[in-house]
Every structure is written in C-alpha cells, then in structure tokens.
C-alpha cells in the first residue's frame, strides 16, 4: 500500500506546478531582486517541485547555474525532462535533499528562490536557516501563505490556522525577515488566478483519474481535503493569498552594495 506522501507525489507529479504561482509572478519577483540578469549567478531553488520557477529562472538568467532542490525523486525526474525539452538542463543541477539541511556551502549563493515551499520548515526557521547560505548582499525571494486583511471569515481562519502554525499578514512576515537579519526589498501578493487557473483547476481535473488508479480510503481522504481547501478559497479567496517576499542579506560593509552582480539604476 502506498504511503500518503507517495500518493501526494503521484497526484502532483505530472502538474506544471505544485502550488499557486505564475510565470509573471516569478519574473516580477526576479525584477525586484535588482540582480543583473547577465551575471553568472549562483542560485538555489529550494522545494522546486517539477520546476515551475526553476525553468523560468533558467530562461531569465542565461548565465546562472541553478541548484534545484527537492526531497521527492519523481518531481526532480520531471524537472529534468522539462529542462531538457527547453534546452536549459546543462545549467540546472538537481539535488535530492532535505531543505532543513541543504548540502550547500555557507555564504556561497547570490540568490535563494523558494515558491510555496518554506512552510514545510516554518517561515521563521526557514529564513533564519537559509540566511547563512547567502553571500553578503545575496538575495532571498520566497513566496509564503499570507493573510491579506486583519479581519478574516472565521471558517477560513480556522482552516488555515489548523493547517499552518505561522499564518500572518505581510507586516508579520516582513517583521520576521527583519528580525532574522534581512533588509526587505519588496512584497506583492499573488492574484487569485495564480491559485485558480494555474493550480486548483488543473488539480481538480486530475482527481477522477487519481481516484480510479487508487481506490483506497487514503486516496479518497486526500482528494476530500483538497476539495475542502478549494471550496474555501472559492468562497473567501479575497482574504488569503501567497505573498512574494524579496529581501537582501546585508553586505558586510555599511556602505551601499556595489558588487558587480547588482544592477544599479542611475
Ligand atoms: N516550488 C514548487 C512550485 O511552486 O510548483 C513546488 C511547491 S510544493 C507546494 C512544495 C515542494 O516542497 C514540493 O515539491 C515538496 O516535495 C517540497 N518539499 C516539502 N518538504 C520538503 C523538504 N523537507 N525538503 C525538500 N523539499 C521539500
């Protein structure tokens, strides 16, 4: 019998993405990093799934080398196939590892990317742990579930507070980043289409085939939970989204960062 994790992997492994987001949002967040797209950046995409953001980064940063890290082999396999098809596989190194202790040299990265995945560590612990992997002046770009308003429908609040112990507003998340030692550079919430058109609609379309392949109580329970979350979003989506947070590890010097990898507007 398949474990819950194996069933979840199977439900999601043929999808373009495993969480809310879009190519436009990835590109907007990348522009807020102010990194030069022409620099030979060292990048890690942590919790990369089947490569939704990894592949956008590989195309937008033609000289970057990207470590794509995930703990599910089937996701990395799909990412490899997609990277081959796009002709960017040479610059992507797939890494099967746990995001709690990534096999990455401290202070070696120009950019850490992570979409919809840091909740697995908890935002506060994740941003603290990953700070040490960035070079001084390096950038973190991370998406994280975020309350859009101080007042929320009770049913929505109950659902997400039970699912994740670090629900908070953008102000809470920015405070967490500052407390961990980052300088916030930008924030924007993902539009609802990132959830519906790009994530929930394709997920719903896979349910019947998944249940036919796995006629088990575990598979039924997974689908029921997904359906409940989708229904809540359809009712109350305006109160919750993913927020994209872009923040810098301060350069060691107190002077502005004039490293060649940063783009400066004149
Ligand atoms: N970034 C992808 C996207 O936006 O499509 C995937 C997002 S999905 C919601 C979260 C990802 O984190 C999954 O690919 C999952 O396998 C990965 N993940 C969860 N826990 C992990 C861990 N402890 N170490 C590494 N990857 C993990």
Q: What is the pLDDT of residue 261?
A: 58
CA-closest candidate to residue 43, choices 118, 102, 125: 102
For ligand 1, is residue 129 a contact (CB within 6 Å)?
A: no
Q: What is the pLDDT of residues 151-186, one digit of tens each?
A: 999 999 999 999 999 999 999 999 999 999 999 999
In a domain, 145, yes or no: yes
Average pLDDT, the chain: 94
pTM above 0.75, yes or no: yes
Rounded to the nearest whole angstrom, what is the distance from the C-alpha of residue 70 to the centroid of ligand 1?
6
For ligand 1, is residue 18 a contact (CB within 6 Å)?
A: yes
Rounded to the nearest whole angstrom, what is the distance from the C-alpha of residue 62 to the centroid of ligand 1?
24
Q: What is the pLDDT of residues 57-103, one digit of tens each?
A: 999 999 999 999 999 999 999 999 999 999 999 999 999 999 999 99
CA-closest candidate to residue 12, choices 45, 44, 52: 52
Total count of domains within the chain: 1
CB contact set of 81 (below 8 Å; sequence gap of 6+): none
Rounded Cα–Cα distance for residues 178 and 171 (Å): 11
Going by alpha carbons, the residue nearest to atom 9 of ligand 1 is 19
CB contact set of 262 (below 8 Å; sequence gap of 6+): 34, 35, 36, 137
In a domain, 62, yes or no: yes
In a domain, 257, yes or no: no
Reduce the DSSP state of residue 138 to 3 states and report it: strand
Q: What is the pLDDT of residue 2?
A: 86
In a domain, 254, yes or no: no
Domain that holds residue 152: 4-248
Q: Which of 17, 47, 74, 129 to mutate to test the pocket of ligand 1 (most atoms within 8 A of CB)?
A: 47
For ligand 1, is residue 20 a contact (CB within 6 Å)?
A: no
CATH code, domain carrying 78: 3.40.50.150
Reduce the DSSP state of residue 17 to 3 states and report it: coil
In this structure, the strands spanning 92-96 and 65-70 are parallel
In a domain, 12, yes or no: yes
């Amino acid at each position: 019998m398949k474990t819950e994790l194996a069933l979840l992997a199977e439900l999601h492994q043929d999808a373009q993405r495993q969480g809310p987001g879009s190519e436009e949002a990835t590109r907007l967040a990348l522009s807020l990093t102010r990194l030069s797209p022409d620099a030979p950046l060292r990048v890690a995409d942590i919790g990369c799934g089947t490569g939704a953001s990894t592949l956008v980064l590989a195309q937008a940063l033609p000289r970057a080398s990207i470590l794509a890290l995930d703990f599910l082999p089937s996701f990395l396999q799909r990412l490899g196939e997609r990277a081959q098809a796009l002709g960017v596989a040479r610059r992507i190194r797939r890494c099967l590892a746990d995001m709690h202790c990534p096999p990455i040299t401290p202070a070696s990265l120009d950019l850490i990317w992570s979409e919809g995945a840091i909740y697995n560590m908890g935002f506060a612990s994740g941003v603290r742990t990953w700070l040490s992997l960035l070079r001084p002046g390096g950038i973190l770009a991370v998406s994280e579930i975020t309350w859009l308003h101080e007042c929320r429908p009770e049913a929505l609040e109950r659902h997400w507070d039970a699912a994740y112990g670090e629900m908070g507003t953008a102000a809470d998340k920015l405070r967490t980043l500052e407390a961990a030692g980052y300088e916030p550079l930008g924030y924007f919430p993902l539009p609802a289409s990132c959830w519906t058109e790009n994530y929930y609609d394709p997920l719903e379309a896979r349910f019947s085939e998944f249940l036919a392949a796995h006629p088990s109580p575990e598979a039924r329970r997974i689908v029921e939970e997904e359906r409940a979350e989708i229904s809540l979003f359809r009712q109350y989506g305006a109160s919750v989204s993913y927020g994209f947070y872009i923040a810098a590890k301060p350069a060691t010097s107190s002077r502005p960062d004039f490293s060649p990898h940063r783009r400066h507007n004149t």
